[in-house]
Amino acid sequence: MKLPGSEEIVDDLAFFDDWEQRYQYIIDLGKSLPPMDEADKTEDRLVRGCQSSVWLKAHRENGVLHFAVDSDAIIVNGLLALVMAAYNNKTPEQILTFDIDDYFQQLDLERHITPTRGNGLRAIVSKIQDIARESR
Amino acid sequence: MSLDVRALREQFPILAQEIDGNPLVYLDNAATTQKPQAVLDAIMAFYTQCNANVHRGAHALSDEATRRYEKARDSVAHFIHANSREEVIWTSGTTEGLNIVANGIAQRLQEGDEVMVTQMEHHADLVTWQQACTRSRAILKVVPIHDNGALDIQAFEDMLSGRTRLVALPHVSNALGTVNPIKKLAALAKQKGALVVIDGAQGIAHGGVDVQDIGCDFYAFSGHKLFGPTGIGVLWGRGSVLEDWPVWQTGGEMIARVSYEASTWGALPNRLEAGTPNIAGAIGMAAAIDWFSKLDLEAVQSHEKQLLASATEQAMAFDGLKIIGSAPDKIGVLSFIIDGSHPADVGFILDRQGIAIRTGDHCAQPLMRRLGVPGTARASFSLYNTLDEVDSLFRALKKAQMMLA
Ligand SMILES: Cc1ncc(COP(=O)(O)O)c(C=O)c1O
């Protein structure tokens, strides 16, 4: 299934006025995130949060970065889907100029990607940015 | 007499707040407890009235700071029934206390000696001994637990040997709430001549700790889990054992005489307390102890029992919830998983409803593997929690379960 783009997500989330709908939307996004092959979930791709684990796989093709991500927690998967909407299938330049903090602020989710949350999300964002820098 | 929880709560300013429009329901007390006004006042008073370094100033402020700081030591000694105030060593917390013991024992262990811990250890009471054993080629033995989270006492007895030098175990398990029969276990270990170390991080806040009655050699705990500040804790050690315990850190305060070539050590307790101590922390911790000691302990314990009983009853009636840890003797903690949901997801949705719990491995990764779970959600209760809050937890859990289904 095709995941929505980042602008679409910002619009969708703005449309809901209560938290339950917003969270339900993120949960549903998490469920629709294509799962990563178990064989791809190797130790070197693991970003350990203290509460949940996240795997990140990256490859580059025709100047564009493709990512696969997965987590054992569904809401983290939903948040990862938001990150993917911003970063997947983009050029390194696009990735590095994208203002992720502003994006999460617009989504009213910045509390959930703070480094202290321990869900590995912030670490994934940094890792993706590192990969983008290296592939420039 | 029953506990006036409403009046108690008013002494904790932090509890009155709202999170996202919901009243805060703080059920993460095993991680750290909140601080009553009396503790906040004592810390503020120290800094506003007599902040100075201790044991060294030739002036009035330093005298007063030293007086309050050493009086704090007396409060602790009295609270845990130490034989003397010299047995109370200030530390930064349970972790440092255990490290002082581990560092010392590592210097004394011989190859083939044995150190015994349990499967329910917090990393602070496991990695310490594991590393001490690695350094000295001693053997770390791990006593199993039963599936319900109770310690296998028979195995404990069987695994003790003539080579057991030290036994370390928690008074209360932070992940499961299991209360260990530490007095009985200490007696068994002492028969073999082993030193007995109790990780009291979770045991201390429930009251009634008497180190002499327990019969252990060390009891370590943290101020912040006992309504006091972070960054301060206590290692209690039996005087005869502490007397020549290897020094931990070196520096100021802990020495007797220093030349460029060599130094001699001062007397207890300072010998194990190098450097300027956490003076405000010690004073705050003693204020917490004084505050706690004025409560009716029986009423506190019966209230806590009620909270756990109500939580357990509602958990058992909750479809799809599995309680992790149901030892017959249990206190303060309800660990659980919801079928089909990751604990982190459950915590996420509870958080949005103002309910603070902890999710994850609870610093006990080997224990989680032993229990076959990736982690748990853990609600932990303290004396200021109400039965209404327990009900709120389960209402919020229902919602989480529905949303995650
Ligand atoms: C059983 C147990 N032992 C040790 C510790 C470590 O305590 P601290 O982090 O205060 O040093 C904790 C706290 O999480 C604990 O629950």
Handedness of CA B287, B291, B293, B298 (dihedral sign): negative
3-state SS, residue B43 = helix
* Closest chain B CA to residue A77: B345
- pLDDT recorded at residue A1: 47
3-state SS, residue B132 = helix
Same domain, B260 and B113: yes
Same domain, B63 and B165: yes
Last residue of a domain, one of B265, B293, B321: B293
Q: What is the CATH number of domain A6-135?
A: 3.90.1010.10
CATH number of the domain where residue B135 is located:
3.40.640.10
Give the pLDDT confidence of B303-348 residue by residue, as tens digits: 999 999 999 999 999 999 999 999 999 999 999 999 999 999 999 9
The alpha carbon of residue B403 is apart from the nearest alpha carbon of chain A, in Å, by 6
Q: How does the average pLDDT of chain B come out, rounded?
A: 96
The residues pairing with B265 across neighbouring beta strands, listed in sequence order, are B255
Same domain, B306 and B177: no
Q: Is residue B396 part of a domain?
A: yes
Ligand 1 in contact with B215 (CB < 6 A)?
no
Residues of A in contact with B20 (CB under 8 A): 19
Alpha helices in B208-278 (DSSP H): 211-214, 239-242
What is the count of residue pairs from A and B with beta carbons less than 8 Å apart? 42
Give the pLDDT confidence of A86-134 residue by residue, as tens digits: 999 999 999 999 998 888 888 877 666 665 565 677 888 889 999 999 9
Give the pLDDT confidence of B378-396 residue by residue, as tens digits: 999 999 999 999 999 999 9
Q: Quick one: which of B169, B193, B201 has its CA closest to B182? A: B169
CATH number of the domain where residue B17 is located:
3.90.1150.10
Q: How does the average pLDDT of chain A come out, rounded?
A: 86
Domain count, chain B: 2
Angle B268-B274-B278 (CA atoms, 0-180°, nearest 5)? 100
* Structural domain boundaries enclosing B285: 41-293
Residues of B in contact with A24 (CB under 8 A): 403
Last residue of a domain, one of B267, B293, B319: B293
ipTM at complex level: 0.88
Domain positions in chain A are: 6-135
Which run of H or E residues covers position B183? helix B182-191
Q: What is the pTM of this model?
A: 0.94
Alpha helices in B236-371 (DSSP H): 239-242, 279-293, 297-316, 343-352, 365-371
Tell me the C-alpha distance between B374 and A51, whole Å. 9
- pLDDT recorded at residue A113: 61
Last residue of a domain, one of B239, B269, B293: B293
CA B354 to chain centre: 25
Residues of A in contact with B343 (CB under 8 A): 51
Same domain, B152 and B257: yes
Q: Quick one: which of B211, B175, B257, B215 has its CA closest to B89? A: B211
3-state SS, residue B227 = coil
The rounded Å distance from CA B123 to ligand 1 centre is 8
Q: Active-site positions of A?
A: 50
- pLDDT recorded at residue B303: 97
Tell me the C-alpha distance between A131 and A125, whole Å. 10
